[in-house]
């Protein structure tokens, strides 16, 4: 991924898990997507900042009850994400 490249949420979540040696488990993927949609920062979203946020919050998300995922497809450049 380069500084100018943009990925959709699903692709980023799959890459995040793959980089950490996690299986392509749908539950883990859904947990990462939920966290991405809760990211408190303002765009543009960088991989370094998103990775840090996910690393700091991922364990808590796995312990929380599952919430419904948004039905829309967004990129991290969308300010409503």
| E runs forming strands in 1-81 | none
SS3 content of the chain, % helix, strand, coil (to 5): 50, 0, 50
Distance separating the N- and C-terminal Cα atoms of the chain = 20
pTM: 0.68
pLDDT in tens, 7-19: 899 999 999 999 8
pLDDT score recorded for residue 72: 38
Q: Is the pLDDT of residue 43 over 90?
A: no
């Amino acid at each position: 991924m380069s500084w100018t490249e943009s990925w959709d949420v699903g692709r980023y979540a799959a890459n995040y898990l793959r980089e950490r040696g996690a299986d392509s488990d749908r539950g883990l993927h859904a947990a990462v997507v939920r966290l991405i949609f809760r990211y408190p920062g303002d765009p543009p979203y960088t991989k370094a900042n998103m990775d840090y946020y996910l690393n700091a919050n991922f364990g808590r998300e796995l312990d929380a009850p599952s919430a419904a995922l948004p039905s829309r497809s967004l990129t991290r450049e969308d300010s409503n994400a």
